[in-house]
Amino acid sequence: MAEEEKSRLYRLKPFTDKLPAVSRPEGHVHFRTKMLWVIIILVFYFVMTNVFIYGLDQGETIDLFAQYRAILAGAQGSLMHLGIGPIVTGSIIMQLFVGAKIIKLDLRNEEDKAVYQSTQKFLVIIMIVVEAVPQVFGYLVLSDAFVGNMNGVFGEGGIMTGLNFARFIIVLQLIIGSYLVFLMDEVVSKWGIGSGISLFIAAGVAEAIFTGTINWHAYDSSMPMSIDNPPAGTIPKTIYIIQNSSAAGLASGGYERILLQNPNPMVALLGTVAIFLFVAYVESTRIELPLAHGTARGARGRYPIKLIYASNIPVILMAALLANVSMFSMLLWTNPSLSGVPVIGGQWWIGYYEPGSTYPAGGLAWYLSTPRGLGDWLLPMLSPDKYSYLASGHDGLQIGVHVIAYLGVMVIGSIIFAKFWIETTNMGPEAVARQIESSGLQIPGFRRDPRVLKRVLERYIPVVTVISGALVGALAATADLIGTVGNASGTGVLLAVGILIQFYEAMGREQMMEMHPVLRQFFGGE
């Protein structure tokens, strides 16, 4: 590539190359070693979710990402407070810029691909700061004792006051925690199996589903348990309401509480199981192209093109995008500084919030917000006089538009991200054709030529990519509309099931490569 054709991002290379990173293994990593790294990182992840940020008042802190907490693999007030949000947001920005040719990088070129990855790492750091600073200055409430201690050291006047230094300490902890997540993802990707981000999402969703199903503590722990404040878990809640309600009480509202009304209604548990089974079935659906070895007669195989070809990545990217829409709309409405920004600050049409709530009550942010099960939209439509408060007072038409808008945005957005993802990860027709040709295979009946392979693959991959994006987007949105236990969200359940199936398949491939080293080249191993 000529010097004048190179992207301007090459100027960042001397700096981005010095950022902390995990080095790749020099040779083949044994299967047992890979599994050991996966287990170590998973344990470390759960440890980080239980290490709370020093200096916060946990009781007063507002969680901006409450409705996306399971998807973003984070834990409120902990070192994992930001979760995978900055990593995924940085990936979205880089994919959009490269896909729109704003950034001129050819990801088939190894040098350009290295610049892309190092720049993305730098962008992740920027996004960590962008997401951390607004929260510390508005929603992560510092404890009075911590601020008092800092005031005793730095005083209360000037630029470096005790309060500002305390905020700096909180931001620093968020940056360290989020960058550790980034490095942990690299460890899993380079030394383990699969993706660290996917592993964290599956772990967070599994924890949410488990607690949402069997949690026997009252939903509002500050009040005694009652029919109006039952156990939070689906199974204990159902048993408690049946045991403590009369037949008339069950008929007049008890069944609605059990089946439809949050928290964790029975329909949500059934929906979670149904989504699990359906995704497991769809994951096994594929088109298989027959392959034959060009020199070894009789050696045949198949190249599978899954129905969910783009995997669950488009839904992860859409969830992160909507989480950022929710966060910034809340900042623009409630933050004293940002609410005064001209044109967009404090505007109801962008999104407005009730005091103390992290869920939008109206505006564009409400129409793009994730429905939290049938209780949030079906009950207000069927019985507006009794349940309109569940939909922030919106009428049936507005609720219907919310449902259609959310479903449409998830489907269209997932299709767009699926196309971007295929092109940036060497899964397009041209890249797959080169991979098959380099392994010595060809499609029987066709000339052994990458251009011929590309034309054959172009009949399938672009179409399957669109179907894949639309399907995962529709599945995630439908699951959100039905509801899931533990506030895991339909997107979270969809992701977790897909991740577990793919992890199982990846383990199978690793074991095959361990037994048959010749397969490593075909699968891209060392």
The residue to which tokens 């399938």 are assigned: 460
Q: What is the pLDDT of residues 37-61, one digit of tens each?
A: 999 999 999 999 888 888 888 776 6
The residue to which tokens 């095959």 are assigned: 512
Amino acid identity of 354? E
Q: Which residues pair with 218 in a beta bridge?
A: 231
**Is residue 353 within a helix (H) or strand (E), and if so which, with residue range?**
none
- pLDDT higher than 80, residue 96: no
**What is the structure's pLDDT at 519?**
53
CATH 1.10.3370.10 range(s) for the chain read 31-194, 285-499
Closest CA to 423 of 101, 126, 159: 101
Q: What is the pLDDT of residues 317-333, one digit of tens each?
A: 888 788 888 888 888 88
Percent of the chain surpassing pLDDT 70:
90
Cβ atoms 191, 37 nearer than 8 A? yes
Mean pLDDT score, 331-347:
85
d(CA 348, CA 353): 9
Which of the residue ranges 255-264, 348-357, 476-485 would you say has the lowest mean pLDDT?
255-264
**Is residue 289 within a helix (H) or strand (E), and if so which, with residue range?**
strand 286-293
Which of the residue ranges 141-145, 287-291, 367-371, 404-408 would you say has the lowest mean pLDDT?
287-291
- pLDDT higher than 70, residue 522: no
Chosen CATH of 31-194 out of 1.10.3370.10, 3.40.50.2300, 1.20.1440.120, 3.30.390.10: 1.10.3370.10
d(CA 43, CA 14): 34
Cβ atoms 322, 68 nearer than 8 A? yes
Give burial (CB, 10 Å; 0-12/13-18/19+) of 460: middle
**What is the structure's pLDDT at 157?**
62
**What is the structure's pLDDT at 4?**
46
Greater confidence (231 vs 105) lies with 231
Q: What is the CATH topology of the domain spanning 285-499?
A: Preprotein translocase SecY subunit (1.10.3370)
Q: Across the chain, which distance is largest between two alpha carbons, in Å?
A: 83
Q: Which residues pair with 305 in a beta bridge?
A: 287
- pLDDT higher than 50, residue 2: no
Which tokens hold the place of 441?
């295979």
Which tokens hold the place of 310?
């783009």
- pLDDT higher than 90, residue 431: no
pLDDT category at 406 given cuts 50, 70, 90 is: very high
Amino acid identity of 347? Q
Q: What is the pLDDT of residues 232-258, one digit of tens each?
A: 889 999 998 888 888 887 877 788 888
d(CA 390, CA 44): 38
d(CA 196, CA 385): 47
d(CA 36, CA 26): 18
